[in-house]
Chain A
Amino acid sequence: MRRIVWLLLAAPLLTAQDKPRLVPDVSQRQIDIVYSFTGAELLLFGAILYPGGRVPERDADIAVVVKGPAEGLVVREKRKIAGVWLNAESARFRSAPAFYAVAASKPLDRLVDARTAAIYEIGVDNLQLSPASGETPEAQRRFERGLVDLKRRSGLYREEPGAVEISEGVLYRARIAIPARVPTGSYTAETFLIRDGRVLAGATKRIVIDKSGFERFTAAAAQSHAFLYGLAAVAVSLLLGWAGGAVARRR
């Protein structure tokens, strides 16, 4: 009874919206990294709710952005000095996402204009990396390109235009591959509903990627009990070496 009352009270709020709404979900809210982890595939899906349930004639587009935790980092550039390639100049960035993937129902340049892309960080060239060292804009762009290119080739930054399927104009689904070298942490999956280069609606889901079981235990021990972990490593090494020798002497 009470539930119905609440629904009745809430109904005007839901129907009064003249803007469409997104109801997103992900196939896994928690990705566990265990010994056999070689990457994962994340399925991001959901529904587009139009006010009054009327699907407009012209289809809207969907872009899905999965972002890893932001980290500060130094990018170094090698240069030939006195015949040897050395790390010469460097640039700092305060907030480069550890992982970034975007999937969309259309090529990105036909989806949004440059300004919108920059605001919502749609596309690997539109990330807000927050440069922290005072380089000239050209140098900054050079380092940004270097960083993005490196991350792209290691599979940590990816763009997958056309990877979002929209059925009947209301249901969408996208697959994003998570590589084996993925950093752990708290990820966000943002979904944007886009029409005529404008973002009509957006919604966010959280995904946690963490080591689990033995892998988690080992990584945690190496960090919080560094001394004991070191002793254990030495002990295991001594034991294996000794056992190997003992087996060989038996024969």
Chain B
Amino acid sequence: MDLYLPIAGLSVNALVIVALGLGVGVLSGMFGVGGGFLTTPLLIFYGIPPAVAVASSATQITGASVSGVMAHMQRGGVDVKMGWVLVAGGAVGSVAGGYAFAALQASGQIDTVVAVLYVVLLGSIGLLMAKEALGAVLAVRRGTAPSAPERRHHPLVAVLPFRWRFNRSGLYISPLAPFLLGLGTGVLTVLLGVGGGFVLVPAMIYGLRMSTRTVVGTSLFQILFVTAATTMVHALTTQAVDIVLAVLLLIGSVTGAQLGAGFAMRIKPEYLRLALAFMVLTVALRMLLGLTWRPAELYSVQPL
């Protein structure tokens, strides 16, 4: 079923895009990640112009996180105060990222920077997750309970001034820490078309030492608003948001997320985390090879 994408300016097989959304949706339902780190590279691989892939993937993540945020809200799993601080940082970050995107596009280095960021972020987080998940799997096998990490925030977080109380998360820290964290993920959302959950969640657990009960809900809350802001930034600057592409992806991912959530119930969480780590590392490795192997196309064309 061929469908013409009005902004991307090409015709795609709609079923392939819906299937892609479905696959990513299943994964996001299983692992609780947005899946932008898979959607964007796969769309580019399919032939969608990179700017359109990044922008439309951000739009899709907004929709994909709605039901999650609502579910966590009802359960009290969202620290709204923390969430707004993160969103404020994310909004500033997405505007800054918009300028960075335009500057990198003009200098022709956007693809390299995107690939390097993917390799560094996914590589390091994948390794951390693999190590942690492997430890948990082995601990369960041996029958010893994994030792609970001590709950003290990172020394860098502790030195920041103006402390606020975040009751839901059980924290008394400076709002600057989550603000800067939000800012960083906001930049990533604009540049990479990812929600940033795979950066936010570990940073909130290991950096801020937030209570795990609110981590996922609050990160989804931030992702919802920041991807919405990113859609606006892309709509206003690169004009690369393809609404048809986003809708196709959403149809798949919304359905897939429900299926994935069902699968997740039946698999042990530590194996789930190990599988996610493996997947993240695979994407990182593929990107690394793309940087170092002789590319299929030595030349690229960009309109003036």
- What is the CA–CA distance of A47 and B158 in the complex, to the nearest angstrom? 84
Min CB gap B49→A, angstroms: 10
- What is the CA–CA distance of A137 and B66 in the complex, to the nearest angstrom? 56
- Contact indicator per residue, chain B 203-238, by CB within 8 Å of chain A (1) or not (0): 000000000000000000000000010011011100
Selected contact of A233 from candidates B109, B111, B246, B302, CB within 8 Å: B246
CB <8 Å contact, A180 and B304: no
CB <8 Å contact, A240 and B301: no
Q: A226 contacts which chain B residues (CB < 8 A)?
A: 235-236, 239
CB <8 Å contact, A231 and B232: yes
Min CB gap A224→B, angstroms: 10
User: Within 8 Å of chain B (Cβ to Cβ): is A241?
Assistant: yes
Q: In chain A, what residue has the closest Cβ to B255?
A: A244
CB <8 Å contact, A87 and B231: no
CB <8 Å contact, B4 and A36: yes
User: Within 8 Å of chain A (Cβ to Cβ): is B10?
Assistant: yes
Q: B66 contacts which chain A residues (CB < 8 A)?
A: 238, 241-242, 244-245
CB <8 Å contact, B2 and A38: yes
- What is the CA–CA distance of A218 and B52 in the complex, to the nearest angstrom? 14
Min CB gap B10→A, angstroms: 4
- What is the CA–CA distance of A82 and B301 in the complex, to the nearest angstrom? 23
- Contact indicator per residue, chain B 81-124, by CB within 8 Å of chain A (1) or not (0): 00000000000000000000000000011011000100000000
User: Within 8 Å of chain B (Cβ to Cβ): is A141?
Assistant: no
Min CB gap B94→A, angstroms: 12
User: Within 8 Å of chain B (Cβ to Cβ): is A78?
Assistant: yes
CB <8 Å contact, B62 and A241: yes
User: Within 8 Å of chain B (Cβ to Cβ): is A67?
Assistant: no
Q: In chain B, what residue has the closest Cβ to A156?
A: B301
Q: A177 contacts which chain B residues (CB < 8 A)?
A: none
Q: A233 contacts which chain B residues (CB < 8 A)?
A: 59, 231, 235, 241, 243, 246
CB <8 Å contact, B244 and A38: no
Min CB gap A233→B, angstroms: 5
Q: B112 contacts which chain A residues (CB < 8 A)?
A: 84-87
User: Within 8 Å of chain B (Cβ to Cβ): is A219?
Assistant: yes
Main secondary structure of the interface of A (DSSP, over half): helix
Interface 9-residue window, one of A119-127, A143-151, A198-206: A143-151
- What is the CA–CA distance of A86 and B255 in the complex, to the nearest angstrom? 39
- Contact indicator per residue, chain A 234-251, by CB within 8 Å of chain B (1) or not (0): 101111111111101000
Residues of A123-162 at the interface with B, using a CB-CB cut-off of 8 Å, are: 143, 146-147, 149-151
Q: A180 contacts which chain B residues (CB < 8 A)?
A: 2, 4, 10-11
With A86-B109, A181-B9, A233-B243 as contacts: A33 and B4 at CB distance below 8 Å: yes
- What is the CA–CA distance of A181 and B298 in the complex, to the nearest angstrom? 21
User: Within 8 Å of chain A (Cβ to Cβ): is B272?
Assistant: no
With A38-B11, A76-B300 as contacts: A241 and B63 at CB distance below 8 Å: yes
CB <8 Å contact, B243 and A245: no
Residues of A198-225 at the interface with B, using a CB-CB cut-off of 8 Å, are: 211, 214-216, 218-219, 222-223
Min CB gap B40→A, angstroms: 16
User: Within 8 Å of chain A (Cβ to Cβ): is B254?
Assistant: yes
User: Within 8 Å of chain B (Cβ to Cβ): is A83?
Assistant: yes
Min CB gap B23→A, angstroms: 16
- Contact indicator per residue, chain B 274-304, by CB within 8 Å of chain A (1) or not (0): 0000000000000000011111011111111
CB <8 Å contact, B291 and A85: yes
User: Within 8 Å of chain A (Cβ to Cβ): is B139?
Assistant: no
Q: B294 contacts which chain A residues (CB < 8 A)?
A: 80, 85
Further 20 A-B residue pairs, CB within 8 A, beyond A218-B243, A241-B64: A34-B4, A36-B3, A74-B303, A85-B293, A86-B109, A92-B304, A214-B6, A215-B6, A222-B7, A222-B239, A226-B236, A229-B235, A230-B235, A237-B63, A238-B62, A238-B228, A242-B66, A244-B67, A244-B255, A245-B71
Point out residues on A near B: beta carbons under 8 Å. 33-39, 71-78, 80, 83-87, 90, 92, 143, 146-147, 149-151, 180-181, 183-184, 211, 214-216, 218-219, 222-223, 226-227, 229-234, 236-246, 248
A-B pairs with the 5 shortest C-beta distances? A245-B67, A230-B235, A244-B254, A241-B63, A241-B66
